Homo-oligomer: A and B are copies of this chain.
Amino acid sequence: MPKPSARSVAAPASPIRRLYPLAVEAKKRGKKVYHLNIGQPDIPTPEAFMRGVREAKVEVLDYAPSPGIPEAIEAVVRYYGECGLQVTKEEVLITIGGSEGITFALTIACDPGDQVLVPQPFYPNYLGYARLTNVEIVPITTSRADGFHLPPRQEIEALISPRTKAILFSHPGNPTGVVYTRKELEMIVELALKRDLFIISDEVYREFVYDGTHTSLLSFPEVRDRVILVDSISKRLSACGARVGALVSHNRDVMAAAMKCATIRLSAPTFEQLGLVAFMADPDHQKVVQEMIGEYHRRRDLFCSLLREIPGITFRVPEGAFYVMMGLPVEDAEAFIRWMLTDYPGTETVMLAPGAGFYVTPGLGKDEARAAYVLKEESLRRACAVLADGLSQFSRLPAAQAAERG
């Protein structure tokens, strides 16, 4: 009996996947679990999008054009115009979510065996896309104390080898919530020019900025040919299940290569593209997104104020996205998170994402956890009360028992 090869499909041994069954069991025991571990928005998908799906005029559901339905591409072009970014129809390709956009970008920028720089902690699926495309991720380590902002340029430059073809990051950042300053972005731009790199900028959280402003990498004219923007409607339309994103570049060779990738997989799903078209045709669409961002802003402020009250938790207020990467007053965050699911008494508990899952360097992030503040106010309040109590109880466990739990 042949065994499937373990190569590229060997997704990172994500701690969160080890913990999920424990959450399922906890719920079976009747426990209420506050899922601070998931970055899945809970806000209803806009009605205009849903109407676009329901009222789609489709008789034969044939392949959509590989680069996207023309009206969907036009909707994306218009969206960037509203963001102050001038792109043409030829510079936009509709992808099957941001996931496919990053896979395409790595395929375009790299040959098998090439390297990309990625600030860590980073979104763990980046590792999956890199393995599927046989690309190696070289981490740029950032720290909680610096709010996960970038280290000095010379530290990054020291990581560059002849095989380094690109730098990839999410901006605003998942799991860090970091929004890079203009100065940091200028440093990346200079580095890309000096060392001949592509910049793969994952801007799916573009609107989720509460302090300062978001500067898109598309707005730097000196790297027009080097930037590959990856985008998605998943977060800003609360439509993760739509699987509609976009790859954007001013570089014609990049777009030609992206078109080849797109042709191979034929097309992105039709109905969800039509949902996007209808959403962008709604005169209120900007207001709908702004109201949602306002809600997340309030949640961030509330959540951070609640976290500040919990002894031993350390964090810097994130500028964007909807995550807080925090330090916990424990040696092994995963052991604590597991204990909360298996042994914490009472009727409620909290699930966090262990920090180590967002790093590739062994040992980093061991005392960290990521929380997503995608719950409603009352749930956030309860979750933080439970978290505070859990940390307090866990700290009083005999050391031997705590270690055993790890």
Contact = CB atoms under 8 A, between A and B. Distances in A.
A63 B125 CA distance: 14
A254 B129 CA distance: 19
Q: How many copies does the complex hold?
A: 2
Given A2-B198, A41-B60, A99-B265, 4 more contacts: A4-B253, A4-B257, A7-B107, A112-B112
30 contacts: A1-B226, A2-B196, A2-B198, A4-B254, A4-B256, A5-B109, A5-B165, A5-B257, A8-B112, A9-B108, A11-B260, A40-B62, A40-B63, A45-B58, A49-B61, A60-B238, A61-B238, A61-B239, A61-B240, A96-B269, A99-B265, A103-B265, A107-B132, A112-B112, A125-B264, A131-B264, A134-B134, A240-B266, A242-B270, A243-B268
Given A61-B241, A134-B112, A257 B9 contact: yes
A342 interface: no
Interface in A223-274: 225-226, 238-243, 251, 253-254, 256-258, 260-261, 263-272
A97 interface: yes
A163 to B, nearest CB: 12
A335 interface: no
A9 B107 contact: yes
Contacts of A56: 53
A244 to B, nearest CB: 9
A272 B268 CA distance: 12
A304 interface: no
A203 interface: no
A100 interface: yes
Interface residues of A, number: 78
A241 B63 contact: yes
A131 B257 CA distance: 13
A79 to B, nearest CB: 18
Contacts of A9: 107-108, 257-258, 260-261
A10 interface: yes
Nearest to A5: B111
A243 B197 CA distance: 34
Nearest to A43: B60
Contacts of A62: 40-41, 240-241
A225 to B, nearest CB: 4
B99 A264 contact: yes
Nearest to A54: B54
B267 A241 contact: yes
The 6 closest A-B pairs by CB, nearest first: A128-B264, A269-B269, A241-B270, A1-B225, A45-B61, A61-B241
